Structure formats: structure tokens, C-alpha cells
Amino acid sequence: MKDHLVIFDTTLRDGEQSPGASMTREEKLRVARQLERMQVDVIEAGFAAASPGDFEAIRSIARVIKGATVCSLARSSENDIRRAGEAIAPAASGRIHTFIATSPIHMEKKLRMTPDQVVDAAVRAVRWAREYTDDVEFSAEDAVRSDVDFLCRVFAAAIEAGARTINVPDTVGYSVPSVWGELIRTLIERVPGADQVVWSTHCHNDLGMAVANSLSAVLAGARQVECTINGLGERAGNASLEEVVMAVRTRSDIFPVRTRIDATQIVPASKLVSQITGYPVQPNKAVVGANAFAHESGIHQDGVLKHRETYEIMRAEDVGWAQNKLVLGKHSGRNAFKSRLSALGIILESEESLNTAFARFKELADKKHEIFDEDLQALVSDEELAPASEHYKLVYSHVCSETGETPAANVTLTVGGCEKKASGIGSGPVDATFKAIESIAASGTELLLYSVNAITTGTDAQGEVTVRLARGGRIVNGNGADTDIVIASAKAYLNALNKLQFPDRVDPQGDV
Ligand SMILES: [Mn+2]
């Protein structure tokens, strides 16, 4: 009989802390619904005290999600914990995840607290959290650089105060598998009350070992792994959910645990998160990369055709690859469209927004005869920023690209409802378009990244463009999709400018 391994997904909290990856409430809801469908155990939906927007997003997710525990992160201050408690209040099952730093460097330089004060603060935090829910998780930030005796002391105090899950994070991605496993084993042996809690690990990927360290922790007795879709997260990211889940499943001869994850939902989840955040997945990424399965690449094809196990240890369809099939076409009706959306977990709030989306679907189906799930996701992503909240909007564009001539663009935008026209020239049609837009917006931003990906195959595929802009230390990603990549580019640029119109979350000054 195998133990249950709790999959704690923090795509919406740690993942969202990647530069430019912040998501709107609607986007977070879509990801949360997909996580629920994939049957993760816990969804860390955000950091309630970070901003009113994050608070609202957690509350909305807590209201909607029934099949997973909804969690908010909170520092150990009373205000943070009360905000987290209020945010998760509507949940069928809610958790508060509170943390405090325990390494000498963090205690001295950041918290300016003595070890005794840190233990007291941890105990108070867990007790406040228990006023809202029995399901309280405690993390020792920067555990990797903390003294083991002190970790034992603070964890014992947190358990005594009522924590049910004890999380050991490698906040800075410094550990290696043998050392990390040994630390978990030591803590489980030495901490009084260790047998009454679930031990958890949260590993960062700065040295590329987040998944390996997490799995080593599982072999040492951890029964919760904190991870993200596509390994998204601060800096080099977190342990990737799909790799942890498929390692445990594929090597069930080694791991004494099983998850309840529906693996066929992994690839759809990966694509959704990539599309919403604008973080593409590298082709050779394990499990979810386009080349992850041998039959996709020519060289092994012969061997695979003769006998699949020659090169494959997993089946592409088991993780959801086979689902990329034609779903809708030009003649599909409103009901077929609506039911396909709801199968994808996309619930449009009003009949009016369904009508708008359906009109856009028809438009797209005229240009591109086969419509795939990915096209529908992109269409809805494009639709979601309600026109009323869009400061900049593309009305018209005309672009000339001719051999031997300088590319030129004319654009018409509405800016806060007023129509403005401009033209620009550039080294290519996209460059000319961006210059024309800038001559209206004068945003003072720096372009950090421009990328185009084909959403599906074929030259009639929609191009999905990501534009990353920086201004005054703030970074946003804009996305746009269209069968015309110049128009997709203009949409992505305007989407980024629109995101800069909204105030950002405050820097939470702390992370596990
Ligand atoms: Mn983290």
C-alpha cells in the first residue's frame, strides 16, 4: 500500500512572482479550474496581503474550487494572517501557509530579530492562523541555510502551536539531492511531534536540481511536494509539477508513494499556463516540451515504430499529448462552441461575452479552417481584458513590406476612448508598427523580449506573440494572438501597455 503524496501547486503564487507573469483574477481562475481538473491536492492561489487584487483573486478561487484545498501565503504578521484567513473563508477546504525566515543571514539582516523572537513569532502566527482553519502550514524560509538544531526547535514549536504541515524550503536553490534528503530524514527523526504532521518540501531550481531535491525529500519521508506547472517561479523557477508527478509514477518501483493527479491534464495545463504568462516551454523540456516524446523526432522514429519501448519510458497520450485534435470548424454552432469551452474549463460569465467570443470564433474560422483547443484558449485570453478596461485599443493597421523598400506602418488606436492615428518606419513590419504605436503612447518603456510562436501547426496557424516591457523597475508581459503575426504583435504590445496602466502588487519582501 503506497502513501499518498500531496501535490501542492504554487503556480498562482510562486510562479506568478516570475517577472511579468502576474495574472489577472480571470486568468488565475482559469488556471485554478485546470488545476482542479488535474486533481492537485492544494492550490496556493496567492499572497492575500500583497495587494487587493491578489486578495480578490484568492477569494474568487476559494468560492469556485471544490475539488482542491485553496491556500493563501502569509508572513507571520497578524495583518497578513487575517487577510489570508478572510481570503480563504469561502473555500470548501482552506489552508493558511505562514512562514518566517530561520537562517542567521535572514534573521539578522532582514528581520532584525533574535532566534528567540523568531520562535515566538512563528508560534503566534500559527495560533492566529488556527483561528481561521485547522489546516495550517508552516514554512521556515531559507531552511537550507539554517542551523539544524534551530530548525528542530522552531518546527517543534510550530507543531505544538497547531501546524499540520511543515514545509522545508530550499528558498535559494542551493542544495543537492543527497544533502537535502538527509536534512529531511534528520528533521523527521528529531522534531518532537514529527509523526503528527505532513512533511513538505519546496525547492528552487537555481542549480537545476529542484526536482531531484524534491524527489530525494520524498524518499526521505516527505509526503507533500510544492511545485509549479512548467517549473515556473522566481529566478530559475520551482520544481516542475509534471516532472515530479511522472517520475513518481514511472518509477513506482522506487517511490513508495502515489499521487491522485490525472496526468492526461498535464499538457493542457502546461499550454494554458504558458499562454497566459507568456513564458514559452522549451522544446526539449521533460514531459511537456514539444520534442519530449521520441516519436516526435525523426531520428528514433524507426525504432519507435518497430517497438515503442525502444525509446519511450512514458506514453505521450498518458500526459495529454494525444488530445491535440481538430475540435471545431467553420460550421460549428454556438452550442458546440460553448460546450467545447466548458470542457476546457472556460466559463464565460455572461451571454454577452459568449456572443462576443463566438463572433470572434467565426471570424477566426473564416481565416483558419481548423480550430484547435489551443486556438480557443488564445481567443478567450484575447477576449478577457474587457474592452471597457482597455486604455489602448487597436482599431486599424496597414503595413507595407516590399523588397528593397523601408517597411512602413500606419496605425489607428483608441487611447482612453479617443481615436489617434500615427505612422512609423522600421527595420521590419513589426518594428515599424511598434514605432507607430510608440509615437502615440510615448510610454517610456524598454522592450525586454519579443517572441512569436505558432499556436498550432501549418502556415495558417495563429501566431502567439509575447512582448515584455519594463518601466521604472516594473516588468509586464503582453500577449496577442492572430493569424496575422503583425496584428498579433500590435495586440501584444498594446496588451503590455494596458497592463502598465494598472497598479502593481506591493513587493511582499519574503518568499519561501
Ligand atoms: Mn519559492
How far, in Å, CA of 165 to CA of 206, rounded? 25
Q: Pull the grid cell for residue 32.
A: 485554478
How far, in Å, CA of 170 to CA of 167, rounded? 10
Q: What's the domain range around 358? A: 334-382
Q: Are residues 169 and 316 in the same domain?
A: no
Q: Are residues 18 and 156 in the same domain?
A: yes
Q: Does residue 512 lie in a domain region?
A: no
Q: Does residue 282 lie in a domain region?
A: no
Q: Does residue 510 lie in a domain region?
A: no
pLDDT tens series, the chain, 512 aa? 899 999 999 999 999 988 888 888 888 999 999 999 999 999 999 999 999 999 999 999 999 999 999 999 999 999 999 999 999 999 999 999 999 999 999 999 999 999 999 999 999 999 999 999 999 999 999 999 999 999 999 999 999 999 999 999 999 999 999 999 999 999 999 999 999 999 999 999 999 999 999 999 999 999 999 999 999 998 999 999 999 999 999 999 999 999 999 999 999 999 999 988 988 899 899 999 988 886 544 455 555 556 666 678 899 889 998 654 557 888 888 888 888 888 777 888 788 888 888 998 998 888 887 888 888 888 887 766 545 568 999 999 999 999 999 999 999 999 998 999 999 999 999 999 999 999 999 999 999 999 998 888 788 888 989 999 999 888 888 888 899 999 999 999 999 999 888 766 555 556 78
* 454 Cα–ligand 1 center, Å: 31
User: Kind and range of the H or E element at 495?
Assistant: helix 485-501
* 497 Cα–ligand 1 center, Å: 28
Global pTM? 0.87
* 343 Cα–ligand 1 center, Å: 32
User: Kind and range of the H or E element at 400?
Assistant: strand 392-400
Q: If you search the block for the grid coordinates 507571520, which residue do you land on?
A: 76
Q: Are residues 312 and 338 in the same domain?
A: no
* 425 Cα–ligand 1 center, Å: 44
Q: If you search the block for the grid coordinates 492526461, which residue do you land on?
A: 264
**Which residues sit opposite 450 in a β-bridge?**
467
Q: Does residue 328 lie in a domain region?
A: no
Q: Are residues 345 and 267 in the same domain?
A: no
Q: Does residue 326 lie in a domain region?
A: no
Known binder of ligand: residue 398? no
How far, in Å, CA of 290 to CA of 142, rounded? 34
For 309-349, the DSSP string reads GGT-SS-GGGGTGGG----EETT--HHHHHHHHHHTT---S
Q: Are residues 471 and 376 in the same domain?
A: no
Q: If you search the block for the grid coordinates 497592463, which residue do you land on?
A: 499
Based on its alpha-carbon atoms, the radius of gyration of the chain, rounded to whole angstroms, reads 24
Q: Are residues 270 and 413 in the same domain?
A: no
Q: Which of 382, 399, 414 is the last residue of a domain?
A: 382
Known binder of ligand: residue 238? yes
Q: Does residue 283 lie in a domain region?
A: no
Q: Are residues 142 and 71 in the same domain?
A: yes
List Cα–Cα distances, 390 to 243, 410, 464, 491, in angstroms. 38, 21, 19, 11
List Cα–Cα distances, 131 to 54, 78, 100, 124, 399, in angstroms. 22, 12, 19, 11, 61
Q: Does residue 24 lie in a domain region?
A: yes
* 489 Cα–ligand 1 center, Å: 32
The domain tally of the chain equals 4
How far, in Å, CA of 497 to CA of 139, rounded? 37
Q: Pull the grid cell for residue 229.
A: 506547472
Q: Does residue 327 lie in a domain region?
A: no
* 485 Cα–ligand 1 center, Å: 35
Q: Are residues 483 and 338 in the same domain?
A: no
* 185 Cα–ligand 1 center, Å: 21
CATH code of the domain in which 485 resides: 3.30.160.270
Q: Are residues 300 and 221 in the same domain?
A: no
Residue 432: CB atoms within 10 A of its CB come to 25
* 173 Cα–ligand 1 center, Å: 9
Q: Are residues 200 and 245 in the same domain?
A: yes
Cβ–Cβ under 8 Å, residues 100 and 75: yes
How far, in Å, CA of 286 to CA of 319, rounded? 11
How far, in Å, CA of 259 to CA of 244, rounded? 10
* 10 Cα–ligand 1 center, Å: 8
Q: Are residues 260 and 366 in the same domain?
A: no
Q: Pull the grid cell for residue 238.
A: 520551482
CATH code of the domain in which 19 resides: 3.20.20.70
* 136 Cα–ligand 1 center, Å: 18
Q: Are residues 297 and 346 in the same domain?
A: no
